[in-house]
Structures are given as structure tokens and as C-alpha cells.
Chains A and B, each alone.
Chain A
Amino acid sequence: MTKITFIDATGEPRTVDGQDGSTVMETALRNSIPGIEAECGGACACATCHVYVSDEWTEKVGSPSQMEEDMLDFAFEVRPSSRLSCQIKVSPELDGLVVTTPAKQG
């Protein structure tokens, strides 16, 4: 199990267990994390699972694909650390990952 911490827009952290091989978005939904809508169900087609990856993790998590970068155009307040959580796969290397959810998804 890989620990993932979601910090909501008010600053409240929630740490949950992520299943390796699943996505950060799926982990959020399974644990009823507020601030992740995932309207399209993980098809990289809606930008409602937008998260900010914390500075110390951006390198390990990596940068978005072309398709994801296009889809981020539909997100608000996009920053260099922005990712769509449906496109981040949970793996043991990401144990301790911290992401912040934006104030509004869509």
C-alpha cells in the first residue's frame, strides 16, 4: 500500500492508502476525498480531477502527456505543478505523495 495525502483547498490534509496500479483519482474516489469530481471516470476527458503536486514530488510524479496537457486547458488556476489525478498511477515510489485539490473543479 502506498500512502497518499490529499490537502483540500482549506488546507485540511487526508492521508489514505492507495492501491498500487490504480490511479490517484481512483484512490480519491474510493476514499471519498472531497474536491475530486472525476466526471468522465478517468478517460482524461474532463479535467475535473485536477490536483497540484507538492513541490518535493513534482519530479518523481513527472510531467503530463500531450493529451493531459491539452485537457488541463479546461481546468482553472493551472500551475506548473498541475496534473490530472486520473493520469497518475500509484506505485511504491510514490509512497508519501502529497497533492492539493483546487478550490473548484468545474
Chain B
Amino acid sequence: MSEVFATDVAIVGAGPVGLFSVFELGLLDMKCHLIDILSKPGGQCAELYPEKPIYDVPGYPVINGQELVDNLMKQAHPFGPTFHLGEMVERLETLGTAERPLFRVHTDAGKAIEAKVVIVAAGGGSFMPKKPPIPGLDAFENTSVFYSVRKMDHFRGRRVVIVGGGDSALDWALNLHPIASRITLIHRRAAFRAAPHSVNAMHALVESGQLDFVLGQVTSVKGEGGQLAALVVRKESGETVDLPCDDMLPFFGLTMKLGPIGEWGLNLHENLIPTDTARFETSTPGIFAVGDINTYPGKLKLILCGFHEAALAAQKAHHYVYPDKKLVFQYTTSSTNLQRKLGVS
């Protein structure tokens, strides 16, 4: 039984454009729920370049990714958005009609968000784990090869190989070490990106013989019926060895994939969603696409273009959420009504 939330607008993606959509929709009295696969808001700005300067956000000669996200969060705050983070939208169900749209957005955490309007602000798609290009690896996925740890107990008494040198790899090596029968960490070099205290803790376990570390790269896997038997590892010396194991956890960071959006019945053009340029609505009335995920003649993948798209999409969204209300355009500088909503009057 899924948990159902009712709202005006469901926004898929909590990147900069999704966050600014909350503001534009909020000015027009629409409440939002946002769903994002990352554990924090901000999308690429927060995940890929939190400390990189951005030079083309109007009004900011320079601002870094995280500052922009923090400011957008502040700007959205008066409208009390609800965030569903660390969740992916798996399925989109259409309940209403073209004139009175109603949708139900289902997440992989078993939640359902019912909304009159859906705004897809999914950027480059969902951030998903990078999968090593090892032939036949997918046959072991979710039975013997895992890209995240959902149930630690699965690894009890098993020989687990963790591949990578970042925080995920080190954290899981340390956390699973008391549970697994043996942990082997494989990394391509002796240096680690992970936090120094985790690296020190790992070295201490290696020194006391409680954890194995192998300098090398996995080149192929052996096993059958979804169960790994061994990994073939090319060591730094060039020597190739078989490393017997039950489970493998590769941690090679994240990459963006369109994911389930491709199956929502929207028109797609090269993994982008075509929209009109007046309302940024998709081929399905009530579903809008804004930011990097949409395409139209002249489209530029710029944050500033996404902001513009969000403002125009909100105007049409109002028509679906409040079909009987006339929308009067107002400025935040002069409208006491808008200022009251922003909590500044």
C-alpha cells in the first residue's frame, strides 16, 4: 500500500530549475512536491560542481554551484515545498482528462504524489551508479553485484569485494567489515579520495590482517546463475589473479541516465522532451518540461533559460490548477499581494 500525497504540482528533479519553479508556482498560489534521486537538493550544481564558479547567472558576476542552490532554496522557502529526496520517480499514471489533468507520480520508495500538474525538471536525467564495462557483469546485478547497499544483512558471512577509492567504497568496507566473512578492497592506486580518517581506519584493518587490499583493476568476472565465484584482477605489477568472492560492490561514482522518464509515454527526441516555447508544455496536457531536459528550436542548456521556462510554465499550470480563476499578472516589486505571500509586506 503506497503512501499518497495530494498537491498542486509535482516537480521531478530538485535542481536549480526545479527549485525556481517552486518560486514561480508559489507566487501563483500553487503548492509543490519535489522528487529527486539525490539525497540533497541542487542537482548537478550540488553534485557535480558545488565549488565551481558559474559566470552566467544574471545578476551574479560569479557564484558557485552550492551558493546558487542555497539562494534558490531560500527563495523557495516561503512557499513551503515538500521534498522527497533519495527517491526516483518510477511511474507516471494519468488519471484526469486533457482539460482537467490529474496525475499520480510513483516513487521507488513506494510513495505516490497526486498532482494536477507535473513539471519535469530532470536535467540530464537521474544520477545513477556508473557500471564498469566488464563483460557479463549485468547477469550478476542485484544478486551478486550491487551498486548500493540496501540491506547490510545480505552480506553477512559472505566474501565481499569492494572496488573504488572514494567515500562510498571506504565507508562500506568499514561498515561491512564486522558483518562479512572477508572484505577485500580493490583500488587502482595507493592514494584515496575518501576522507583521511576512513583511509586510516582501513589501513589499520589491513595491517592487523582483518581486511585485504589489492592494488589493481577488475578485468572480468566468473560465476554462474547470478552468483559470482571469482573476480579476475589485473594487479599493478601486470600479473592477473583470480580473487574468489561471493559479492562485488563497485563504486565508480554517478552518471546521468534518462531512466524511467523514457517510459512515461511522452514524445522524446534524442532523450530530450520536446515542448512548445510559449508554455513549455509537452505532448501531454498538464505535463511540462523545463531546463536541460527539454528541447525546442534554439534551445540553450543554460540555467537562465530554465528559469525563464519555469516562469512561463507556471502561468499555464495555473490554468490547470485553478481552471475558474483569472490570472492577473503582477510584479513582486509592486504587488502587496505577492509581497504578502513572500512574507515581506
Which residues of B have CB within 8 Å of A73? 164-166, 187-189, 193, 252-253
Stretch from B14-22, B31-39, B44-52 contacting the other chain: B44-52
- Nearest neighbor of A46 in chain B, beta-carbon distance: B48
Which residues of A have CB within 8 Å of B133? 76-77, 103-104
Q: Knowing A76-B252, A77-B217, say if A40 contacts B44 (CB, 8 Å).
A: yes
Question: Is B335 in the interface zone, CB < 8 Å from A?
Answer: no
Which residues of A have CB within 8 Å of B256? 39
The smallest beta-carbon distance between B141 and chain A, in angstroms, is: 16
Interface centre among A40, A48, A106 (most CB of B within 10 A): A106
Which residues of A have CB within 8 Å of B124? 39
Let me know if B187 and A106 touch, CB within 8 A.
no
Residues 84-106 of A, flagged 1 when their CB comes within 8 A of B and 0 if not, give 00000000000000000001101
Let me know if B48 and A78 touch, CB within 8 A.
no
Is the contact region of chain B dominated by helix, strand, or loop, or is it mixed? loop
Interface residues on B, range: 20 to 34
Which residues of A have CB within 8 Å of B191? 69-70
Let me know if B49 and A74 touch, CB within 8 A.
no
Which residues of B have CB within 8 Å of A43? 48-49, 52
Question: Is B284 in the interface zone, CB < 8 Å from A?
Answer: no
Q: Complex formed: what's the CA distance from A76 to B189 in Å?
A: 13
Q: Complex formed: what's the CA distance from A27 to B123 in Å?
A: 24
Question: Is A29 in the interface zone, CB < 8 Å from B?
Answer: no
Question: Is A45 in the interface zone, CB < 8 Å from B?
Answer: yes
Question: Is B277 in the interface zone, CB < 8 Å from A?
Answer: no
Q: Complex formed: what's the CA distance from A43 to B53 in Å?
A: 10
Question: Is A47 in the interface zone, CB < 8 Å from B?
Answer: yes
Which residues of B have CB within 8 Å of A70? 191, 193
Q: A45-B52, A73-B253 are in contact. List 4 more A-B contacts (CB 8 A).
A: A45-B49, A48-B255, A73-B164, A73-B166
Where the two chains meet, the residues of B that have a C-beta atom closer than 8 Å to any C-beta of A are: 44, 48-49, 52, 124, 130, 132-133, 164-166, 187-189, 191, 193, 217, 252-253, 255-256
Q: Which 3 A-B pairs have the closest CB atoms?
A: A106-B255, A104-B133, A74-B253
A-B contact pairs, 8 of them (CB 8 A): A39-B124, A43-B49, A46-B253, A70-B193, A73-B187, A78-B217, A104-B133, A106-B130
